[in-house]
């Protein structure tokens, strides 16, 4: 049995990874909740957010803005704007025109869009095939508490991630647009009869979900110190799995699912021999077993067909 300190250390690391996964998963669950679609290019929008953030940081550095206190918030804002607009464009090009088609058509369209985004970064970004070093702007160093190493940059990542989640909660539950999103998710026809602008609400949903993916992309770059044009493939699969664990359509379920997936990965690395090599295998195996016994997810509800 591994020592308690190791388990606590891995649990902390898992929560930090889980924050990034949760931000991606929230996007998946928002799209599904409002339009009943699985937006499979969302993982590549996560990747695009990381590259947009890196480009913003390099541009700010060239302009003489190098301080993390100013450069990092501006990079987050720029990346969120870019991915938000790309998300809205994706909805209008790949989702809305296929609203009356088979769900398979939307699936293929969003998968194709993800390939376009990925290959565009590969071709048009300078040396796009090479991993890109990401500037380390978070405070360095750390402390040790009870044998658990707590690094300041990890605390900053957790703080930014949880702040983004709290912001989403406030938007969904405390604003008129959030009320419109909840109304459309519950019953689109009734929401329109009550005066909700469906197109505007769907646009806002895709902007919000895609902007959260940009936050996750930059946090990933800050954590791993590099980004790569194929990072969206794994990020998208994990984000969708986290949303499914929590219950597609439930924002809080997506957050719980993301945190759980991160803890599963790091716990597997601690408990299993050569676990760091098989952590994804173990995590996905647990996800498969979980969904067999509870297909609706942790906080999901059984769907009821309206007639």
Q: What is the pLDDT of residue 197?
A: 93
Distance separating alpha carbons of residues 197 and 133, to the nearest angstrom: 43
Q: What is the pLDDT of residue 100?
A: 82
Higher pLDDT, 66 or 59: 59
Q: What is the pLDDT of residue 283?
A: 83
Residue 151 gets the label, from left (phi > 0), alpha (psi -120 to 50) or beta, of beta
Mean pLDDT along residues 139-153: 87
**Residue 68 pLDDT more than 90?**
no
Distance separating alpha carbons of residues 164 and 208, to the nearest angstrom: 11
How many C-beta atoms lie closer than 10 Å to residue 38's C-beta? 18
**Residue 8 pLDDT more than 50?**
yes
Distance separating alpha carbons of residues 100 and 250, to the nearest angstrom: 24
pLDDT for 78-105, tens place per residue?
Answer: 999 999 999 999 999 999 898 888 888 9
Mean pLDDT along residues 43-59: 97
Q: What is the pLDDT of residue 275?
A: 65
Q: Do residues 28 and 227 make contact, with C-beta atoms less than 8 angstroms apart? A: no
pLDDT for 174-208, tens place per residue?
Answer: 999 999 999 999 888 999 988 999 999 999 999 99
**Residue 302 pLDDT more than 70?**
no
Mean pLDDT value across the chain = 90
Point out the least confidently predicted range of 104-113, 160-169, 250-259, 276-285: 276-285
Q: What is the pLDDT of residue 273?
A: 75
Mean pLDDT along residues 259-280: 82
Q: What is the pLDDT of residue 90?
A: 94
**Residue keyed to tokens 């954590």:** 223
Distance separating alpha carbons of residues 184 and 191, to the nearest angstrom: 6
Q: Could you tell me how far CA 242 lies from the centroid of its own chain?
A: 10
Kind plus residue range of the DSSP H or E element containing 190: helix 188-193
If we measure between CA atoms, which residue out of 232, 58, 82 comes closest to residue 134?
A: 58
Distance separating alpha carbons of residues 39 and 109, to the nearest angstrom: 9
pLDDT tier for residue 1 given thresholds of 50, 70 and 90: low
What the chain holds in terms of domains, given with CATH numbers, is 4-138+146-293 (1.10.3470)
Higher pLDDT, 297 or 112: 112
Q: Could you tell me how far CA 156 lies from the centroid of its own chain?
A: 17
Q: Do residues 250 and 38 make contact, with C-beta atoms less than 8 angstroms apart? A: no
């Amino acid at each position: 049995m591994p020592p308690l300190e190791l388990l606590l250390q891995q649990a902390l690391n898992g929560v930090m990874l889980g924050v990034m996964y949760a931000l991606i998963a929230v996007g998946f669950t928002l799209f599904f909740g409002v339009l009943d679609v699985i937006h499979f290019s969302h993982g590549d929008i996560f990747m695009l957010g990381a590259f947009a953030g890196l480009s913003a940081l390099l541009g700010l550095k060239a302009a003489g803005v190098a301080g993390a206190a100013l450069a990092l918030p501006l990079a987050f804002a720029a990346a969120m704007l870019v991915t938000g607009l790309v998300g809205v464009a994706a909805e209008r090009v790949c989702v809305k025109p296929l609203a009356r088609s088979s769900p398979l058509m939307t699936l293929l369209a969003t998968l194709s869009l993800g390939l376009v985004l990925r290959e565009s970064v590969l071709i048009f970004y300078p040396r796009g095939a090479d991993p890109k070093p990401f500037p380390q702007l978070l405070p360095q160093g750390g402390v040790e508490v009870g044998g658990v190493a707590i690094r300041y940059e990890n605390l900053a990542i957790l703080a930014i991630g949880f702040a983004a989640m709290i912001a989403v909660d406030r938007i969904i539950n405390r604003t008129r647009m959030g009320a419109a999103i909840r109304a459309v998710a519950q019953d689109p026809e009734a929401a329109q009869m009550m005066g909700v602008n469906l197109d505007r609400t769907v646009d806002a949903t895709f902007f919000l979900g895609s902007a959260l993916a940009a936050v996750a992309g930059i946090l990933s770059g800050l954590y791993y110190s590099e980004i790569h044009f194929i990072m969206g493939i794994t990020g998208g699969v994990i984000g969708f799995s986290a949303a499914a664990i929590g219950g597609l359509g439930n924002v809080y379920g997506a957050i719980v699912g993301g945190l759980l997936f991160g803890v599963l990965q790091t716990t597997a690395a601690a408990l299993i021999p050569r676990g760091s090599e098989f952590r994804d295998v173990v995590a996905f195996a647990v996800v498969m077993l979980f969904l067999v016994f509870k297909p609706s997810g942790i906080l999901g509800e059984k769907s009821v067909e309206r007639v």
